[in-house]
Structure 1
Amino acid sequence: MPPKRARRNVSLPSPSPKSIEDSPLEESVPEDQSNTEENNSQSTPASSLPSGFFSSLNQLMILDLSYNYLVGDVSLLFSSNGSSTHHGWPTSTQIIDMSSNHFHGTIQSSFLERAWNLIKLNVSSNNFQGPIPSHLCMNSRFVRLLDFSFNDHTGQIPLGLGACSKLEIFRAGFNSLFGLLPNDLYSVTTLEEISLPSNTFSGPISDDIANLTKLTLLELYANRLSGKLPPNIGRLSKLKHMLLHANSFIGSLPSSLMNCTNLIELNLRINLFEGNISNLNFSGFQQLTILDFGYNCFTGSFPISFQSCKSLRAIRLSQNQLEGQIPSEIAQLKYLSYFSLSYNSLTNITVAIKILMRCKSLEIVLIGSNFLHERLPNDVDIVGFENLRLLGIATCQLTGQLPMWLSMLKKLEILALNGNRITGSIPGWLSTLPRLRSLQLSHNLISGEFPKELCALPALVSAQAYQRDNDYLLLPIYFIENNKVIGQSNSLSYWYRQLSFENNSLSGNIPIEIGRLKLLRALQLGHNNFTGNIPDQISEITDLEDLDLSTNQLSGEIPASLAYFVAPHFLVVTILLMAAKTRTSRMRKMDVQFHGFILL
């Protein structure tokens, strides 16, 4: 029987709830209470609610204002007739969801004094300031979810969480909270999720975290946490997601971590972990999908036990101190699509390529800054990489010429071979790669002319040649320059479209067919031996933002058409053209500001 409606936006839905976010409450809600549920979820945008809006809802059980454009100081919603007295939510209140609005002000403890039956409080994604209210569960002992994330809360997490004997989910990420994680948090044995990322929490994780045996998500990334991981962390055997990246943890990984066999995602990137990673046995991680140990101090070799992690789709061990070769067992990971081992001390690139090409699901391969001074393999029997979209083998000082097997990578979109010692010419068959839109060959020993065939690269000529997919990477790709992160990308769909050939020995004229590359955003030809005039057709590259022709042997005038060139970085374009003539130190410095990075 549908609920009775006594006022606008008052209804009694029956959502058939399955989780804490939608608790099964409808059977306890009387049908004749006119203001039992106030539901404005996803309604027409409004500027604000009237002052004292909450004060008349004496029998309120469910308040859902989520996903609107509501604004205003939350304290005014409790005030009537300008009174400063706040009576708070009534005793009958069970669910409060004000998430994804533009409310501000401070959530005061007095708002919750009478909410004895509160089960869920979600005020995330607003502009609330001040501390998180204290003694949250002193009166509300049935609370199962607290979500304060994506606000402007400050201060420390107050004591009192230990009284939340039924709390299952606690979220307060993306605020400005600081201090130690409160000790009584570790006594809430009902907790299933702790999500506190992107704050400035400091200090270690207490050994008492082992009490939280029901925990499935531990999300503490982007804080200032330090110390070693608790040796008994393996007692958290139900953990599915452990996200501790971007902190300052130290020491070796505790062996008990291998007992967390339900892990789906394990991210320890950007910490100070150390120890021989090959001594750990990962074979129990049958559910593990994403593993990120990048930017640490791990030693040893690539763990062979990864072959048992049959669900692995993404591995990053970049920026560590690993040695040896990539083991052949990696080819057994049939779902592996993201593989990053840049900035280590690996050897034998020929074996590495022949192993990785057998991983049929691979889309991303980043193995730069390894294989120092080896030869780029040119074996005719290299066949595979059917789904490869990005290949990064930069800053290895590799010798040899661009190998013919690259012509078989018909799904390749980004090829990064900058920072090597590759010789020979740029082969025209690169234009047969239908999706190639970023070719990075800078800082090599390549000679010959700019091949006219490249001016027909399909993905740079026509938008129809390559349809963008709104795909997101399993892990972000980082751009590293001078050992510092200068950017990141979470998708290949919006990758910078570029031809980067600077710092080589290219000669001859810049082909007039260059104007066909309408979708090109960066043309970087500086520090070569190009001669002749600057072709007027460059102005036909309608998407061009960055143009570097400096330090060549070009002659004549800068084409007048470039004076009308409209681009977001027109000033930079002009400076780098002038650098070809003036050669001032300032120009040469700006000349390389976008170049020379490696992918991690």
Structure 2
Amino acid sequence: MSRNSASRKVSTFGNESDRSALLDLKRRVLNDPLKIMSSWNDSVHFCDWAGVTCSPTIRKVMVLNLEARQLTGSIPSSLGNLTHLTEIRLGDNNFLGPIPQELGKLLLLRHLNLSFNDFDGEVASNISHCTELLVLELSLNEFVGQIPHQFFTLSKLERLGFGGNNLVGTIPPWIGNFSSLTRLSFALNNFQGSIPSELGRLSRLKLFSVYGNYLTGTVPPSIYNITSLTYFSLTQNRLLGTLPPDVGFTLPNLQVFAGGVNNFGGPIPTSLANISGLQVLDFAENSLIGTLPHDLGNLKELVRFNFDDNRLGSGNVDDLNVIRSLTNCTSLSVLGLSGNRFGGTLPLSIGNLSNQLTILTLGRNLLSGGIPVGIDNLINLQVLGVEGNNLNGSVPSNIGKLHNLGFLSVHNNKLSGTIPSSIGNLSLLTKLFMEDNRLEGSIPPNLGQCKRLQVLDLSGNNLSGTIPKEVLSLSSLSIYLALNHNTLTGPLPREVGDLVSLTLLDVSQNKLSGGIPSDLGKCISMVHLYLGGNQFEGTIPKSLKALKGLEELNLSSNNLFGPIPQFLGNLFSLKFLDLSYNNFEGKVAKEGIFSNSTMFSILGNNNLCDGLEELHLPSCTSNRTRLSNKLLTPKVLIPLVSTLTFLVIFLSILSLLLLRLLTFNNVVLPRALLMNAQRSQTYDIEISLRS
């Protein structure tokens, strides 16, 4: 190469080490669907490549920003040669493999974001040499091991994120020395031990999350004194203790305060009503007691209020008076109060709650009375749960106006009347639970209009009439259909074969009749099939052999007959089979499910034979012998001999008459033919008697 051409190349590209490191990265990229790397070629200076920013003076790479570019690949160790880098932004891609220790050579680095990738291995300890770091985001990867103890040198950090990995060990107390921290996340890891009290020194902290770990002990009082906190999540650990009574004054800037799925006890502090900007207050699944503060309506910004599954309430009639106060929270989207001890009736003011409400759960309490008709004002409701109370009266017909409803649970109450046909208007409904009430009348056919329904449970009521074929035509039913323990009549419609995605069908304990439809064989996803306690008759359809994933089959207490089909022994997924109290007959196999007597029941079928010894069934051979012996008893033999004697005399007279008639007409029968006829009659009689 000539000196002139060499100088031209240097002037064009310059800083060959930077260019080489970038090309190493390009070679490590295995998938680039957005063609980001297409600009990384010799036609332009590397400082003009996509995602690369250089210093305007010395033309060295300062920023590498490839965030959210759908890239797949790994980081080369040569990236540590980009010694002027101040920012590496590779978040929200599909990079994998370990972080090279060579990144510790980037002494000017201030921002390192590798979050939302698939990096694995231990966190590179040499990053501790990057003492100018302000942002270190490693969240949502597959890192393992502990937080490197060398990281205590990163005292200038403002943001530190370890969330969503597989890290173990304890939270290092020296992080309390990072006085500039504003965001700190340990969420969704496997950290154990207690929350270090030293973290209470982080006076600038705005976000603190330890959600989804195995932390124990109490929350240090010093944490509750970080007045700058706006986001504070303790959810899903093993923490205990009580919430400080003055928490509403020491954490006045909170917007999110979450501590669900722990072991917190004591009352809900009334001071929480003073945090005017609070949007999320969620302490579901704890052991909180007492009443709900009556002035929660002061929380005008409240969006989510969830205290499901605690021990709140006393069973008194005024337990839910707070709902009247919550009507002031015009942005409220989630109200969760299920699984407590609230008494009284559902207040009419429920209908005045925010029309932004999407989730309302009041189930498993001590509530009585009816469902307020004003419920139809909550037009954006997606989830309504009032199950497990003592509610009575009927299901309001205007519930069909809740067009956004996807989940409706009113089961385990004392509701009566009929199922409102207006439920058929709920086109987004996926799960409907109405079991264990006192509902009567027929099943509305227009439930078949709920084309997204995956679960329908109407069991344990007083429903009558036939099963609408429209309901059985809902191919969306994929989880289960339970109509058991009612008084339904008529056949099981052939349309049941449309339920090709259904895994559980229970129509047991009704008064259904007719044959088991062969169309059931089309339900190829079926795992549990319960038809017991009806009046089905006929044989077991051969088509059921197509149900290869069937684990439970109950046909007990019907009027079924015939042999037990051999294919049942070939359904290798079958774990329990109940054929008891029918009229099955013939041989019981010993293969498949019939090889283990604890996995099937054939009680109450008196004409079965063979099978396992522990069943104590007669052999099929002795069954035939017993039948022969029954024929030779005097009670059977005397009438039989009398009948046969009469038959011999009758045939002899008939032969004589026939002979005379033929002789009279000058027709002579061969003697041998007549003799053979008589021998044949005698032989048949002897055989009959011997057998």
TM-score computed with the length of structure 2 as normaliser: 0.65
1:383-462 equivalences in 2 (<5 Å): 384-433=377-426, 435-455=428-448, 457=449, 459-460=450-451
- 1:475-520 CA deviation, whole Å, 9 max, x = no partner? xxxxxxxxxxxxxxxxxxxxx6332112223222212333553444
Gaps of 5+ in 2: 1-7, 41-45, 47-53, 530-546, 559-573, 579-691
Partner residue, 1:226: 216
1:141-540 equivalences in 2 (<5 Å): 141-258=131-248, 259-277=250-268, 279-324=269-314, 325-326=319-320, 327=322, 328-351=324-347, 353-355=348-350, 357-372=352-367, 374-377=368-371, 384-433=377-426, 435-455=428-448, 457=449, 459-460=450-451, 497-521=454-478, 522-540=480-498
Q: 1:425 to 1:119 in 2, by over 3 A?
A: same
Partner residue, 1:3: none
Partner residue, 2:123: 132
- 1:359-385 CA deviation, whole Å, 9 max, x = no partner? 33222110000125x23246x677632
Q: 1:187 to 1:422 in 2, by over 3 A?
A: same
Q: SS of the residue aligned with 1:62? A: strand
Higher relative contact order (CA 8 A, sep 6+): 1
Q: 1:576 to 1:447 in 2, by over 3 A?
A: farther
Q: SS of the residue aligned with 1:63? A: strand
Shift of 1:104: 4.2
Shift of 1:421: 2.5
Shift of 1:45: 6.9
- 1:243-285 CA deviation, whole Å, 9 max, x = no partner? 21000111011245322222221110101111111x4311332
Q: Distance in 1 between matches of 2:231 and 2:379?
A: 31
Q: SS of the residue aligned with 2:147? A: coil
Q: Is the 8 A contact 1:175 1:198 kept in 2?
A: yes
Partner residue, 1:570: 526
Q: Distance in 2 between matches of 1:437 and 1:210?
A: 46
Alignment-mate amino acid for residue 276 of structure 2:
Q
Q: Distance in 2 between matches of 1:103 and 1:315?
A: 38
Q: Distance in 2 between matches of 1:388 and 1:382?
A: 9
Partner residue, 1:579: 554
Q: 1:515 to 1:179 in 2, by over 3 A?
A: closer
Q: Distance in 2 between matches of 1:445 and 1:529?
A: 12
Q: Distance in 2 between matches of 1:195 and 1:146?
A: 11
Q: Distance in 2 between matches of 1:282 and 1:156?
A: 36
Q: 1:251 to 1:63 in 2, by over 3 A?
A: same
Q: Is the 8 A contact 1:228 1:250 kept in 2?
A: yes
Q: Distance in 1 between matches of 2:498 and 2:396?
A: 32
Partner residue, 2:568: none
Q: 1:70 to 1:275 in 2, by over 3 A?
A: same
Partner residue, 1:25: none
Q: Is the 8 A contact 1:449 1:508 kept in 2?
A: yes
Partner residue, 1:474: none
Q: Distance in 1 between matches of 2:184 and 2:507?
A: 53
- 1:535-569 CA deviation, whole Å, 9 max, x = no partner? 01222356645432233332222222332345xx2
Q: Distance in 2 between matches of 1:339 and 1:168?
A: 35
Q: Is the 8 A contact 2:174 2:198 kept in 1?
A: no
Q: Is the 8 A contact 2:115 2:140 kept in 1?
A: yes
Q: Is the 8 A contact 1:498 1:520 kept in 2?
A: yes
Q: SS of the residue aligned with 1:514? A: helix
Partner residue, 2:77: 78
Q: Is the 8 A contact 1:281 1:305 kept in 2?
A: no
Partner residue, 1:559: 517
Q: SS of the residue aligned with 1:299? A: strand
Q: 1:381 to 1:310 in 2, by over 3 A?
A: closer
Q: SS of the residue aligned with 1:263? A: coil
Q: Aligned pair 1:95/2:70, yes or no? A: no
Q: Distance in 1 between matches of 2:519 and 2:387?
A: 36
- 1:223-243 CA deviation, whole Å, 9 max, x = no partner? 011221221324322222112
Q: Distance in 2 between matches of 1:270 and 1:204?
A: 16
More divergent stretch after superposition (181-190 vs 534-543): 534-543
Partner residue, 1:26: none
Q: Distance in 2 between matches of 1:174 and 1:186?
A: 21
Q: Is the 8 A contact 1:295 1:320 kept in 2?
A: yes
Q: Is the 8 A contact 2:145 2:166 kept in 1?
A: yes
Q: Distance in 1 between matches of 2:344 and 2:145?
A: 52
Q: Distance in 1 between matches of 2:439 and 2:331?
A: 36
Q: Is the 8 A contact 1:37 1:63 kept in 2?
A: no
Q: SS of the residue aligned with 2:414? A: coil
Q: SS of the residue aligned with 1:194? A: strand
Shift of 1:186: 0.8
Q: Distance in 2 between matches of 1:418 and 1:587?
A: 29
Alignment-mate amino acid for residue 349 of structure 2:
K
Q: Distance in 2 between matches of 1:107 and 1:529?
A: 66
Number of residue pairs aligned between Structure 1 and Structure 2: 503
Q: Distance in 2 between matches of 1:191 and 1:98?
A: 22
Q: SS of the residue aligned with 1:349? A: coil
Q: Is the 8 A contact 2:134 2:156 kept in 1?
A: yes
Q: Is the 8 A contact 1:234 1:256 kept in 2?
A: no
Q: SS of the residue aligned with 1:570? A: coil
- Report % sequence identity: 27
Q: SS of the residue aligned with 1:282? A: helix
TM-score computed with the length of structure 1 as normaliser: 0.75
Partner residue, 2:605: none
More divergent stretch after superposition (112-121 vs 126-135): 126-135
Q: Is the 8 A contact 1:551 1:580 kept in 2?
A: no
Alignment-mate amino acid for residue 144 of structure 2:
T
Higher helix share: 2
Q: Distance in 1 between matches of 2:307 and 2:160?
A: 31
